[in-house]
Amino acid sequence: MIVSFFKNRLKISKYAGNVLCLLLCFLFVFSGGFDANAKQTDKKKNEKQYIKWIDFTVTYPALKDAMNTDISSYNTDRHVSWIDILAYLASRNGGNFSKYKKSDITSLLEKLDGTNKISDLATNRKLYDYYHEAYGAVLGGMIGEYTAERIDENGNTVYETGYGLKVFSPFAKGYYYSHFDDFGSARSYGYRRPHLGHDLVGSIGTPIIAIESGYVEAVGWNQYGGWRIGIRSFDHKRYYYYAHLRKNHPYNDIYEGKIVCAGEVIGYLGMTGYSVKENVNNIKTPHLHFGLQIIFDPVQKDGVNQIWIDMYELTKFLASNRSPVYRDSAAGEYYSKIRIIDENMPD
């Protein structure tokens, strides 16, 4: 009996020990889980919150109508921003402008009585705020007050102030190009990747224009883009990329750090690129590849969460404002007859 008693106590002891061990493991894992969750929550709180993707599908008609409404209402007590208009429409259609009608803007304006704002009319304020920030980054430098420096018919430099469109098509006035919506198409040189820009097919030597005022951030050879230029807007949110510029003569007085004005000739169309060796024509068709990258945080520039915009509809929009140029035979360069002195330009 004594032996039996100790055997039973031993069994109970083993059972109790196993239960205790499992309980301790459970408490350890459970408390560790709490700690991990707490750390994850703290990490999310400390992470910078910024937009990581924009699906820009605003159509040319919507851009044009919103712009005209903005400009025509300027200097009135009913001035409405085109970005406010587009953000409101996007908050209602989920960013899909395929069914846009001009009456959409007319109906919106009828709801404004002078005491309310467009943002007050948004039924989904969170969505409106998102599109307002996103579209503000894409379009923020395109309409506003400006000073235009022009060369008149007598060769004199004159200055005009105004409010309106202060960006240009990347193709100089009088030069033909063709294009289609090629954003996202497959590219295979180097590695398989989507096409994150827009191609304008034209003639070698066509003067290429700075779309928006800014400073030159990148210049020189890139094996994918050939001779290329990168220009950052003064608010740092837009980065314009121009690639495949002309062999032997890609630039017009361009260097890193230079301040350029919208409308200036910055280079010439070519077919360079797709080579680790500099100054090589490996592009089959002469064209300008240009892209627009939106940057909310510095890590997006060359890292993860890069945002590139489909420029097809914007290219049609920009076509209404093309910079006229002339050739200086002594310098062998083309120069613009107009440039925008942006109010945000550094002294």
Distance from the Cα of residue 210 to its chain's centroid = 15
User: Is 316 inside any structural domain?
Assistant: yes
Which of the listed residues 139, 172, 189 is the one where a domain comes to its end?
139
**148 falls within a domain:** yes
Buried-exposed string 174-193: b where 16+ CB fall within 10 A, e elsewhere: ebebebeeebeeeeeeeeee
Residues 149 and 290 reside in one and the same domain: yes
Residue 10 belongs to domain spanning: 1-45
Establish if 347 belongs to a structural domain.
Answer: no
Same domain, 218 and 243: yes
pLDDT at residue number 3: 41
159 with 300, same domain: the answer is yes
**How many structural domains does the chain have?**
3
- DSSP label of 203: -
Residues 206 and 115 both lie in one domain: no
Q: Are residues 165 and 188 in the same domain?
A: yes
Which residues are within 8 A (CB) of 92 and not within 5 positions of it... i.e. 6 or more apart?
123
The per-residue pLDDT string of the chain (347 residues; one tens digit each, 9 = 90 and over) reads 444 433 444 344 444 445 444 444 444 334 455 454 555 555 454 566 899 999 999 999 999 999 999 999 999 999 999 999 999 999 999 999 999 999 999 999 999 988 899 999 999 999 999 999 999 999 999 999 999 999 988 889 999 999 999 999 999 999 999 998 887 777 666 566 687 889 999 999 999 999 999 999 999 999 999 999 999 999 999 999 999 999 999 999 999 999 999 999 999 999 999 999 999 999 999 999 999 999 999 999 988 889 999 999 999 999 999 999 999 999 999 999 999 988 778 87
Is 54 inside any structural domain? Answer: no
Examine residue 199 and state whether it is found in any structural domain, yes or no: yes
Residue 175's CATH number: 2.70.70.10
My answer on whether 171 and 306 are in the same domain is yes
Whether 186 and 120 share a structural domain:
no
Residues 278 and 336 in one domain: yes
Domain end, chosen from 94, 122, 139, is at: 139
Residues 222 and 292 in one domain: yes
One domain, residues 112 and 251: no
Q: What is the CA radius of gyration of the chain?
A: 29
Asked if residue 258 and residue 193 are part of one domain, the reply reads: yes
User: Residue 118 falls within a domain, yes or no?
Assistant: yes
16 and 158, same structural domain? Answer: no
